[in-house]
Structure 1
Amino acid sequence: MTRLEVEAPDGVPEIGRGDDLATLLLDVTTPADGDVVVVTSKAVSKAEGRMRRGDREDAIAAETVRVVARRGQTSIVRNHLGLTMAAAGVDNSNVPLGNVVLLPVDPDASARVLREQLLRRVGANVAVIVSDTAGRAWREGQTDIAIGAAGLVVAEQYAGRLDAHGNELAVTLPAVADELAGTAELATGKLGGRPFTVIRGRADLVLPPGEHGPGAAALIRPEDGDLFGFGAREAVVRALKGDPSDRRSFGAPGTAAELTAAIRDVIGLHASPTGVGGAGLAVTHPRGLARALGALAFAHGWTVHQTDNPSEVRLRPDHSS
């Protein structure tokens, strides 16, 4: 039997720049070996001086690396931490009017510092998670996720194991750091003024002292492995524009068969294999379809190369990204 205990203590004062998070936590509770301590990113940011006066939209723009999708006042962006989330993680709730809070500069490092302080001061080997709220594609509502972690197995690897029926698991990888962050949010609430949570019962996920693990950064999917690098509308526009800096956002190159089918289905042209093993494609096209053909190639991670025949192009997968 597995039993989880979740404690989110009251009594934590308003956190300000320079405050010692370990002291604030130990004033209200004492974690033990094998516990998982979850601290909200807002608490970390306030202590690290990441609160700013100014306009929220200006702060979002400064924290944005790339806009993924925008609908009205809602912007989903990839920020400097590599996280894809609404408003780049900039928040103006639970702060004085006219202020915004930015995410910590390095949440994994913040988690390591707090973990080491707790080990030094009370001798408890705990894991630490820095949590933040994020939406989910295909789902309404938000839940907390881990944006920083130290001393924790952030994802349990089940690939290669057999289930009770003898079936081999192929891609099962529970993101336990996110699950623990979501569990903590059930106890802290959004308006309770409880920035710390202690979860007991998963000591098996806590790493030995001095071994911090890969951190929550390991849960961020690389851009070239992201199947949803742009929103539906933005993907069409960016493919037509064909900016080379967008290539990684469309993921790894598609196969020749996938691109051939897209060319046939969208613009009704035939692509012929070329090169050793059909590594490239040749397409003869009317002049008016050149841009559409280029957009299809770009979206699939292929490049267009002009031949001596102005009506024929060669397509090749681009592996440079």
Structure 2
Amino acid sequence: MTPPAPVSLTAIPGIPDIQPGDDLATILATALEGAGLALADGDILCVAQKVVSKAEGCLIPYDSVTPSDRALQLAQELNKDPRKVEVVLRETRRILRAWRAPGAPEGVMICEHRLGFISANAGVDESNLGQRDAALTLPADPDASCRRLADALAAHFGARIGVVMTDTFGRPWRMGQVNVAIGLAGVPATIREQGNHDAWGRPLQVTEPALADEIAAASGLVVRKNARTPLVLLRGLDWRPDPASRATDIIRKQQEDQFR
């Protein structure tokens, strides 16, 4: 059996602080070329959600936010800034859990984002924004954002590529956080192995690797929060493009939720 080709992960330096309205595709292309890299067929770019949100103007100054009664109530219970709580509520479809552990300086809100993702604070973030008293939300349509980037960069380099937008989530019953896919262009969300066979010929019935999340998690191996490298090039992976892929395809249907 031919061994699989090696896969490489490269964090791309030289990306400046992103401002609202910036042409992100051009900035990323410039950074790639500055690193001596040209995209080739089959390359996958992992792009941190934060730079996409900044370019798309998803930064919300707190002086523009008036907390609702619900936000004020939760803020008091959780010892959180009521303005941040209000931004979280605006991004949230439902709150699954809100609590403050004894002795903790601040409570936690586990939310279902309007796009369906389950995460702390509905993806609302205050870190690495370049300013205080503001919060950043997820893009309005991460898949559409990825498609725009993929189309522009594919045209620039003359290559068939994929794009995965990443964000950092916690996982139930596991410590720490990992990068997951919240937007896709071309890259399949999962690989359906049902009907294939394992190495001993046993039929596979439920196996379905979450390819996009595996790619996103791998990108986190070469990125550091203080390194300003929101772009990672993955090269060498054998994958088949799926023009209809969406990150929300990874979300389990509520009727399959065994923990409600």
Answering whether residue 227 of structure 2 is matched by residue 224 of structure 1, we say no
Question: How far off is 1:224 after superposition?
Answer: 2.1
Among 127, 130, 137, the alignment partner of 2:165 is: 130
In structure 2, distance between residues paired with 1:21 and 1:4: 26
1:38 alignment counterpart: 46
2:56 alignment counterpart: 48
The 8 Å contact of residues 154 and 216 in structure 1, kept in 2 or not, is answered as yes
In structure 2, distance between residues paired with 1:87 and 1:184: 23
2:183 alignment counterpart: 148
Among 179, 191, 199, the alignment partner of 1:164 is: 199
Q: 1:128-186 CA deviation, whole Å, 9 max, x = no partner?
A: 00110101011011000000001112211111211122211111111010010011111
In structure 2, distance between residues paired with 1:214 and 1:182: 18
Question: How far off is 1:127 after superposition?
Answer: 0.3
Answering whether residue 229 of structure 2 is matched by residue 194 of structure 1, we say yes
Among 119, 135, 145, the alignment partner of 1:110 is: 145
The 8 Å contact of residues 126 and 206 in structure 1, kept in 2 or not, is answered as no
The farther-off stretch of 66-75 and 38-47 is 66-75
Q: Which runs of 5+ in 1 are unaligned?
A: 230-321
Among 72, 78, 90, the alignment partner of 1:62 is: 90
1:76 alignment counterpart: 110
In structure 2, distance between residues paired with 1:19 and 1:124: 23
The 8 Å contact of residues 31 and 124 in structure 1, kept in 2 or not, is answered as yes
In structure 2, distance between residues paired with 1:6 and 1:32: 14
Question: How far off is 1:206 after superposition?
Answer: 4.4
2:24 alignment counterpart: 21
In structure 2, distance between residues paired with 1:126 and 1:228: 38
The 8 Å contact of residues 36 and 206 in structure 1, kept in 2 or not, is answered as no
Question: How far off is 1:87 after superposition?
Answer: 0.5
Q: 1:84-126 CA deviation, whole Å, 9 max, x = no partner?
A: 1110000000011111100011101101000110122221110
Select the structure with the greater relative contact order (CA < 8 A; seq sep ≥ 6).
Answer: 2
Q: 1:10-63 CA deviation, whole Å, 9 max, x = no partner?
A: 111000101111111111213211000010111110000001111211111111
Amino acid at match of 1:158: E
1:213 alignment counterpart: 244
Amino acid at match of 2:223: T
TM-score, normalising length: structure 1? 0.68
In structure 2, distance between residues paired with 1:120 and 1:113: 11
In structure 2, distance between residues paired with 1:206 and 1:11: 30
1:242-261 to structure 2, matched below 5 A, reads none
In structure 1, distance between residues paired with 2:207 and 2:94: 30
Among 79, 85, 92, the alignment partner of 2:119 is: 85
Give the ranges of 4+ consecutive aligned residues of structure 1 lying more than 3 Å apart after TM superposition. none
How many pairs are equivalent? 225
In structure 1, distance between residues paired with 2:171 and 2:56: 28
In structure 2, distance between residues paired with 1:40 and 1:100: 16
Q: Which runs of 5+ in 2 are unaligned?
A: 33-37, 63-82, 101-106
Amino acid at match of 2:46: V
In structure 1, distance between residues paired with 2:206 and 2:167: 26
